[in-house]
Amino acid sequence: MTEKRRFVCINCGHAVKELFKKYSNTLKTTHCEKCHQITDKYIEFEEFIILIDALLLDSFAFRHIIYNGEFKIYWKVSLVVLLLESFALCRQNLTDPSQADLHIHEKGFYTYTLQNIGDYLLMTLLLLMITATLSIEWMKRMGVRNFTLIIFKVVLISNLSKFFLLPILVWRSNTTVFGRSLHHLLVMGHHLCSLVLAYEAVGATRKVFRWWAFTLVVLAFVLKETTRHFVALLLEDNFT
């Protein structure tokens, strides 16, 4: 038996039965029973606009992508981001990319791709543990499968920030080591903000837990980055 899909109002997070009503050849957006605003304005928007709003840290866009939108395109975008981040890490950890042979490039790229996949899974596991600790009733109500999928979507959406690694790849030779480090720091800052806002948009934690959840998400991010740095140090000798 097919499980009924759960929609939410992107403004307040209240569960709704439908996002629009169809009359002949026209669609009319519904209004939320709780906040009385349009349930989801993004159902009339192009995916590219929604993606831009997500990169601008719009909580409404996060809620639409996680609950109401078709996530197919974002799986593909996440794959592109994964490859982009892996290539950026590979280039960053090569002392002189112009002198490295093709074998070194390929080996480093594949290794960092596997590292990033592990990074995504670790962050998902940490957020699952946080949410299960703070809102076990919400997890039971959602179901373990949907619960895990929603948290994984949060991780993938927050990783859209890695798109901003592209400029430093293009203009790497025209900047300094400090400039590259500052750029990576800004990207990581945006990534952390995106992770926190996307997690908050899910609505798994009650208001009394919001600051506690925020603190735990930041700690999970720090733990993940520490683990990532440790793994990078183990791999660095092979690709420098």
Reported as a single tens digit per residue, the pLDDT across 190-235 is 999 999 999 988 876 666 567 777 888 888 888 888 887 777 677 6
Average pLDDT in the chain: 82
Q: Would you call 137 exposed, middle or buried from its count of C-beta atoms within 10 A (0-12, 13-18, 19+)?
A: exposed
Within 164-209, where are the H helices? 166-170, 177-202
Phi and psi at 27, nearest 5°, equal -115, 135
Mean pLDDT, residues 15-37 taken together = 84
pLDDT tens profile 141-173 = 778 888 889 899 999 999 999 889 888 887 777
Would you say 44 and 36 are in contact if contact means Cβ atoms under 8 Å apart? no
Q: Is residue 9 part of a domain?
A: no
Q: Are 6 and 66 in contact, with CB atoms under 8 Å apart?
A: no
- For residues 166-193, average pLDDT: 84
What confidence score (pLDDT) does residue 2 get?
A: 42
Say if 36 falls within a structural domain. no
* Residues 68, 42 contacting (CB under 8 angstroms): yes
Residue 64 lies in a domain: no
Global pTM reads 0.84
Q: Is residue 43 part of a domain?
A: no
- What tens digit of pLDDT does each residue of 44-102 get? 888 889 999 999 999 999 999 999 888 888 888 889 999 888 888 777 765 544 544 54
Question: Which residues span the domain enclosing 75?
Answer: 71-236
Residue 38 sits at φ, ψ, to 5 deg, of -60, 130
Quote the pLDDT of residue 238.
Answer: 58
Q: What is the pLDDT at residue 10?
A: 92
- Contacts of residue 206, defined as CB under 8 A and 6 or more positions apart, other chains included, come to 135
In a domain, 91, yes or no: yes
* Number of domains present in the structure of the chain: 1
23 assigned to some structural domain: no
Residue 120 lies in a domain: yes
Provide φ and ψ at 9, rounded to 5°.
Answer: -75, 130
Please compute the mean of the pLDDT values over residues 169-185 and round it to a whole number. Answer: 82
Kind of pairing between the strands at 26-29 and 20-23? antiparallel
What confidence score (pLDDT) does residue 88 get? 82
pLDDT at 3 over 80: no
Q: Can you tell me the mean pLDDT for 20-48?
A: 86
Q: Is residue 26 part of a domain?
A: no
The percentage of residues in the chain with a pLDDT greater than 90, rounded to a whole number, is 20
In this structure, the chain runs to a length of: 240
